[in-house]
Amino acid sequence: MPETTKQAAPGAAAPGATAAPERFEPRIVAFFCNWCTYLAADLAGTTRLKYAPNVRVVRVMCSGRIDPQFVLEAFAKGADGVLIGGCHPGDCHYESGNYKQLRRYSLLHRMLMELGIEKDRFRLEWISASEAEPLKTVVNDMVEKVRELGPLNLVIPSERVPEHAEEALVP
């Protein structure tokens, strides 16, 4: 009987060979203003600008409507970074939403730093509807910075309340 040899499947590593380490691909959640930054992302797509596919866009009517809880939840659910994009100051469709977001961002940024989340993981940018190229630059820059930082590895405490704590809460 003829001998048969097993051939490796195409793309499979040879026996005894070590596989190349996988490159970390960050997951970034982006909250974009409907009137400016979201339209810049749309323009980038229609003009076929290439930018990192690591960003998942959430369209909001105004950056001022982004509750800090949205950012915290994005990190808690596995995002490695959060990007907020809004209208330039003075150009808000709702007059002062971006100023409101700037105040929230400043406070939330400090809180995230206290929680041990690096500053480059959370970013606020003013990008108007006609600025597709700056949007591409911001997205690619953020992806590279977060890639250098590595996975977030956030430890979320369990939601279970210890039994002795419940006794203290009941009068």
Q: Is residue 168, in this structure, part of any structural domain at all?
A: no
pLDDT tens, position by position, 59-86: 999 999 999 999 999 999 999 999 999 9
pLDDT band at 154 (very low <50, low <70, confident <90, very high): confident
Q: Is residue 47, in this structure, part of any structural domain at all?
A: yes
Q: Is 98 a residue whose pLDDT tops 50?
A: yes
What total of structural domains would you count in the chain?
A: 1
Residue with tokens 């229609």: 46
Strands 81-86 and 28-33: parallel
Q: Is residue 119, in this structure, part of any structural domain at all?
A: yes
Residue 165: phi and psi, rounded to 5, are -70, -35
Q: Is residue 165, in this structure, part of any structural domain at all?
A: no
Q: Is residue 163, in this structure, part of any structural domain at all?
A: no
> At 106, which CATH number?
3.40.50.960
Q: Is residue 156, in this structure, part of any structural domain at all?
A: no
Q: Is residue 167, in this structure, part of any structural domain at all?
A: no
DSSP H helical ranges for the chain = 37-46, 68-76, 97-114, 132-149, 163-169
pLDDT confidence of residue 39: 97
Q: Is residue 10, in this structure, part of any structural domain at all?
A: no
pLDDT tens, position by position, 19-74: 666 889 999 999 999 999 999 999 999 999 999 999 999 999 999 999 999 999 99
CA 48 to CA 57: how far, in whole Å?
17
Expressed as residue numbers, the domain containing 56 is 28-148
